[in-house]
Amino acid sequence: MLIRRICYIGYLAVLDVFILLVHKEVMKTQPAKKLFNIDINLDVPVFTKKTEHVPDIDPNYSFDHDTTLAILAGFMHNLKVLVQGLHGSGKSTHIEQIAARLNWPCIRINLDGYISRSDLIGKETIVLLRGKQVTEFKDGILPWAIKQRMALVFDEYDAGRPDVMFILQRILENNGKFTLVDTNSVITPHPDFRIFATANTVGLGDSKGIYSGTQIINQGQMDRWNIVAKLDYLPLEKEVSIVLKKLPLYNYKEGKKLVTNMVELANLTRNGFALEDISCLMSPRTVINWAENNQIFADVEKSFRLSFLNKCDDSEKRVIAEYYQRVFNCELNESLKDQNETTSISNGAKSYI
């Protein structure tokens, strides 16, 4: 009897060790220089297993030195990092691509006006239990994510509705414990749970008036972010190389020249925007769209209209047509239309934003 009991206990112990070994996530460190192709002397821990929700690696992604460091600090030291910058500068994808290389599951939640309290926290739902209808609390995305290794990214953080922002405030607290009043429970975050956010403004409102829907963020809430990193558009050559890597069909002499011109024009719109000559600008995302549309329509001007010009205010189209003429040496109808009017473009736009 005793021997049988000892054998049974031994068997359970071996089983426990086996389960521990199978489930234990092995981490190994790798040089950040190699992982992110940035000039830095730092070893970062990488999970060896790619699990569900780990984003796919974009092998051509180009990492910005300072932004990458800030996001890595968030992952390695459990700091809350907010990345701010103009649209399409690569805020969301920077976090996603770093998570992809660290094998860290990552989920993005867009805090546009549609996300509600119950989406985040959860709600009572009706389920069938042994043939009877009963109500059961179904976790929302926050209680679900907080219990596991997960990098949760709040995209468009400055567009969140006030009721939603107050819920987020709970997990931004220092100890990060999440009280679920609906089920009378307190959830302690998993040690590998991380929080990030991206925003177009720094929560002080939108002085340029281009980000409708953004709110002024409660300063108490802004205070809770450990790091606020700023990500601007990349230098011309880097942006050209990103477009070429995404669209390798342009990888020949004239193709490269065309993409360089596209990015040059984008930079002119960014200069013009900074000088308040125009109120819309071409983001890297729009440049990629333009290059893609040009592959479809085989017409640079037409694809420019479809990707960017048609989004602009009529009163600004002449200025943008002037930029187009400067770069492509070709007049658009818009610039000819008001030829007699005096141009109000600032010619001294040398550096952008």
Ligand X SMILES: Nc1ncnc2c1ncn2[C@@H]1O[C@H](COP(=O)(O)OP(=O)(O)O)[C@@H](O)[C@H]1O
Contact residues: ligand X, CB under 6 A: 61-62, 85, 87-93, 198, 242, 284-285, 288
CB of 212 to Mg ion, least distance (A): 16
When asked if residue 103 is in the footprint of Mg ion (CB under 5 A), the reply is: no
If the CB atoms of residues 229 and 332 are measured against ligand X, the closer one turns out to be 229
Measure the CA dihedral 97/98/101/107, to 10°: -70
If the CB atoms of residues 123 and 246 are measured against ligand X, the closer one turns out to be 246
Segment interacting with Mg ion, rule: CB under 5 A, options 51-59, 88-96, 130-138, 179-187: 88-96
Contacts of 293 (CB under 8 A, 6+ apart): 303, 306, 307
Give the contact letters, 144-163, x = binds to Mg ion (CB under 5 A), - = no. -----------x--------
Q: How many residues does the chain have?
A: 353
Segment interacting with Mg ion, rule: CB under 5 A, options 92-100, 177-185, 215-223, 333-341: 92-100
How many angstroms separate the Cα of 246 from the Cα of each of 58, 291, 312?
Answer: 10, 10, 26
Distance CA 280, CA 231 (A): 18
Distance CA 324, CA 332 (A): 8
Which one of Mg ion, ligand X, none interacts with residue 61, CB within 5 to 8 A by kind?
ligand X
CB of 88 to ligand X, least distance (A): 5
Q: Look at the alpha carbons of 138, 178, 214, 74 in this order and tell me if their dihedral is positive or negative.
A: negative
How many angstroms separate the Cα of 69 from the Cα of each of 32, 86, 91, 202, 216?
Answer: 9, 19, 13, 19, 27
If the CB atoms of residues 158 and 334 are measured against Mg ion, the closer one turns out to be 158
Which one of Mg ion, ligand X, none interacts with residue 285, CB within 5 to 8 A by kind?
ligand X
Residue with smallest beta-carbon separation from ligand X: 90
Q: Quick one: tokens of 301?
A: 């001007």
Which one of ligand X, Mg ion, none interacts with residue 352, CB within 5 to 8 A by kind?
none
CB atoms closer than 10 angstroms to residue 76: 14
If the CB atoms of residues 33 and 285 are measured against ligand X, the closer one turns out to be 285
**Candidate list 68, 84, 89, 92; residue touching Mg ion; CB under 5 A:** 92
If the CB atoms of residues 222 and 242 are measured against ligand X, the closer one turns out to be 242
CB atoms closer than 10 angstroms to residue 179: 13
CB–CB of 140/123 below 8 Å? yes
Contacts of 67 (CB under 8 A, 6+ apart): 83, 90, 94, 229, 231
Q: Which residues pair with 178 in a beta bridge?
A: 187
Segment interacting with Mg ion, rule: CB under 5 A, options 22-30, 91-99, 110-118, 272-280: 91-99
Which one of ligand X, Mg ion, none interacts with residue 74, CB within 5 to 8 A by kind?
none
When asked if residue 283 is in the footprint of Mg ion (CB under 5 A), the reply is: no
CB of 90 to Mg ion, least distance (A): 8
How many angstroms separate the Cα of 29 from the Cα of each of 26, 32, 34, 76?
Answer: 10, 9, 11, 11
CB of 235 to ligand X, least distance (A): 11
CB of 246 to ligand X, least distance (A): 7
Binding site for Mg ion (CB under 5 A): 92, 155
